[in-house]
Amino acid sequence: MQYLFLLYANEGGWDQLTDAQKQQGMAAYTAYTQALRKEGVLVGSNRLKPIADATTVHIADGKSQVLDGPYADTKEQLGGYYLVEVPDLDAALAWAARCPGASHGTIEVRPVWPTQNA
Amino acid sequence: MTKGNGDGRAREAAEAVARTSYGKLVAFLAARTRDVAAAEDALSEAFAAALAEWPVKGCPSNPEAWLMTVARRRLIDGARHVRVHEDATDDLRLIAESLDTIRDDGAMPDQRLALLFACAHPAIDAAVRAPLMLQVVLGLDAKAIASAFLTSPDAMAKRLVRAKQKIREAGIPFRIPEREELPARIGSVLDAIYAAFAEGWTDPAGTDAARRDLAEEALFLARLAAELLPDEAEALGLLALVLYAESRRRARRDAAGNFVPLDAQDPLAWDIAMIEEAEALLRHACALGAIGRYQLEAAVQSAHVARCRSGQADWPAVVELYDALLVLTRSPVVAINRALAIAETQGTEAAIAALPDADERLGRYQPYWAARAELLARSGALAQAHDAYELAIGLESDDAIRRFLQQRQAAL
């Protein structure tokens, strides 16, 4: 099964880190991504730019409404994702727990709806 | 042989195999697909087929295997026809694979433990774990479970459906956790079984059939867990605890239906066979060297029933055990019981000092006010005791206990 890890964390926290801490943080993510790749479970992953760069689009009455900002203003923001392929939820949770994001934020684990051609 | 007799025999045979095999069949049928609801539907069709066919053709030599074969056929038909919109090939492959696990003698592997772990998975809402186990392992319907948990049947049915959906859609595995994660995961299985027992236990008069049965079903689950996890001290501890409590079920009421508190119960009314079984289990559990909440609670019960032999409960032991329990659980309920035990060893003043303060939750908890009232009465603070009894009476839902509290209040 495929699971999407949605990494939520307080964006402001990153800016308060020293350069050395930021470097250490990036290295931890790199190591984690490598571990996923080595085990053959990684399908894809990306880090997202901050919500200040987000734009929302919604079509109402045939007209598109475009707004500056994220979909929802929350205390913690979606900052990145991993898409993994593992046998079951326990395996997914074990991988999610190893993600550095689980220590400085919260990870939502969502099963991916399977498609015929997956 | 008349048809009526055949019907009766077939029904009896079907009921017997339902009692012992329901959870085994559900676990087996759902282990690969994780589709518990589909397994239950297929199984209920198989039972209906059995009731139609067995009276005519006679009971099969292996009813369990017969039911499994019919249910599996229904499951395959269901995967082929009902779910045409979705990709059924995966399900069909998984159902076919499960055939490979059947042994040559036709016996199927017992995957009930894996099913229990799926029901008590941390990804399942804690409040629905006990109801879920009662349904999928024992086949209780939502109505009976709802009544025992004081919930509407509709709400209970919805929660059960949602939990089964979560198991299927989120991919919760039917799997016994690895050694290192086992202790944490066993806790939630045992907690759910204990929650089921506690719901059944709250009807001491046994007037509410659904609740009385629930205590028996929970005892069955506790036995199952102890049998499947024979080296887990806490699984044995839970079974011992449940047996100690069950052994006193009859003694909790006198012939007129009045409540009899523990210290006034006649040890001759206790079920000695159950107590002996519990004592043996507890000794065995302690020898495994992994102490935990259920063993400690069972040990408290053991100290109480020491009255069978010595004529007196072992109060110093009870206090010590509650000390340990309090450190382990930080539970205010434990603190209340500890205070009552302290009254026996160190006197009323020390006991009142040991009572926790009434927070919002304790303020609504009848045993808290009953304990406070009892201790205040013994210390001579009669007016305060009267008020505390008043609160306890107002919070009680069991008529016999309410009458008991009213008598105590009147005797001040």
B107-157: per-residue pLDDT in tens?
Answer: 677 888 899 999 999 999 998 998 999 899 888 888 888 877 778 889 999
Looking at beta carbons, which residues of chain B come within 8 Å of A116?
87
Q: Give the minimum alpha-carbon distance from B357 to chain A in angstroms, rounded to a whole number.
A: 35
Asked if A89 reaches chain B (Cβ–Cβ under 8 Å), the answer is: yes
Which range of residues forms the domain containing residue B297? 230-255+263-313
Asked if A87 reaches chain B (Cβ–Cβ under 8 Å), the answer is: yes
Asked if A116 reaches chain B (Cβ–Cβ under 8 Å), the answer is: yes
Out of B3-17, B34-48, B69-83, B126-140, least confident range:
B3-17
Structural domain count of chain B:
3
Q: Mark residue B87 as left, alpha or beta (left: phi above 0; alpha: psi -120 to 50; beta: remaining).
A: beta
Same domain, B213 and B286: no
Looking at beta carbons, which residues of chain A come within 8 Å of B123?
89, 93
Q: What is the mean pLDDT of residues B250-266?
A: 87
Give me the pLDDT at residue B2, please: 40
Give me the pLDDT at residue B3, please: 45
List the one residue out of B233, B235, B232 whose CA is nearest residue B221: B235
Please indicate whether, in this complex, the C-beta atoms of B87 and A111 are within 8 angstroms of each other.
no
CB atoms within 10 A of CB B174: 24
How many whole angstroms separate alpha carbon B93 and alpha carbon B86? 14
Which of B165, B172, B180 has the highest number of chain A CBs within 10 A, making it the mutation to test binding with A?
B172
pLDDT digits (tens, 9 = 90+) for B218-233: 898 899 999 989 999 9
Asked if A4 reaches chain B (Cβ–Cβ under 8 Å), the answer is: no
Asked if B107 reaches chain A (Cβ–Cβ under 8 Å), the answer is: no
Give me the pLDDT at residue B88, please: 61
Please indicate whether, in this complex, the C-beta atoms of A88 and B123 are within 8 angstroms of each other.
no
Asked if A90 reaches chain B (Cβ–Cβ under 8 Å), the answer is: yes
Asked if A40 reaches chain B (Cβ–Cβ under 8 Å), the answer is: no
Q: What mean pLDDT value characterizes chain B?
A: 87
Query: Looking at chain B, which residue has its C-alpha nearest residue A118?
Result: B87
Structure tokens at A42: 């990684």
Q: What is the mean pLDDT of residues B189-209?
A: 75
List the one residue out of A100, A113, A99 whose CA is nearest residue A3: A113
Q: How confident is the model at residue B58 (pLDDT cuts 50, 70, 90)?
A: confident
Residues of chain B numbered 121-140 and touching chain A (CB < 8 Å): 121, 123
Structure tokens at B377: 């009465």
ipTM value: 0.73
Higher-confidence residue of A102 and B257: namely A102
Which of B167, B175, B180, B188 has the highest number of chain A CBs within 10 A, making it the mutation to test binding with A?
B175
Asked if B173 reaches chain A (Cβ–Cβ under 8 Å), the answer is: yes
Query: Looking at chain A, which residue has its C-alpha nearest residue B87?
Result: A116
Give me the pLDDT at residue A79, please: 95
As a whole number of Å, the CA-based R_g of chain A is: 16
Give me the pLDDT at residue B307, please: 85
Q: Give the minimum alpha-carbon distance from A60 to chain B in angstroms, rounded to a whole number.
A: 31
The verdict on residue B300 lying in a domain is yes
Asked if B87 reaches chain A (Cβ–Cβ under 8 Å), the answer is: yes
Q: Is CATH 3.30.70.1060 the classification given to domain A2-111?
A: yes
Give me the pLDDT at residue B179, please: 80
Which residue reads 């409540």 in tokens?
Answer: B259
How many A-B residue pairs are in contact by the CB < 8 A criterion?
A: 26
Q: Answer whether B45's CB lies under 8 Å from B74's CB.
A: yes
Structure tokens at B232: 């887990």
Give me the pLDDT at residue B383, please: 95
Asked if B170 reaches chain A (Cβ–Cβ under 8 Å), the answer is: yes
pTM summary value: 0.79
Asked if A92 reaches chain B (Cβ–Cβ under 8 Å), the answer is: yes
Q: Mean pLDDT, 10 residues at a time, over chain A (118 residues)?
A: 96 91 93 95 95 93 91 92 96 94 94 76
Same domain, B137 and B168: yes
Largest CA distance in chain B: 76
Q: Give the minimum alpha-carbon distance from B110 to chain A in angstroms, rounded to a whole number.
A: 21
Q: Answer whether A96's CB lies under 8 Å from A108's CB.
A: no
Same domain, B235 and B214: no
pLDDT digits (tens, 9 = 90+) for B313-354: 899 999 999 999 999 989 888 999 999 999 999 999 999 999
Higher-confidence residue of B210 and A110: namely A110
Looking at beta carbons, which residues of chain A come within 8 Å of B169?
111
Same domain, B122 and B99: no
Output the CA torsion sign for B144, B146, B152, B156: negative
Same domain, B189 and B143: yes
Asked if B172 reaches chain A (Cβ–Cβ under 8 Å), the answer is: yes
Q: Give the minimum alpha-carbon distance from B87 to chain A in angstroms, rounded to a whole number.
A: 7
Please indicate whether, in this complex, the C-beta atoms of A89 and B169 are within 8 angstroms of each other.
no
The verdict on residue B366 lying in a domain is no
Same domain, B12 and B35: yes
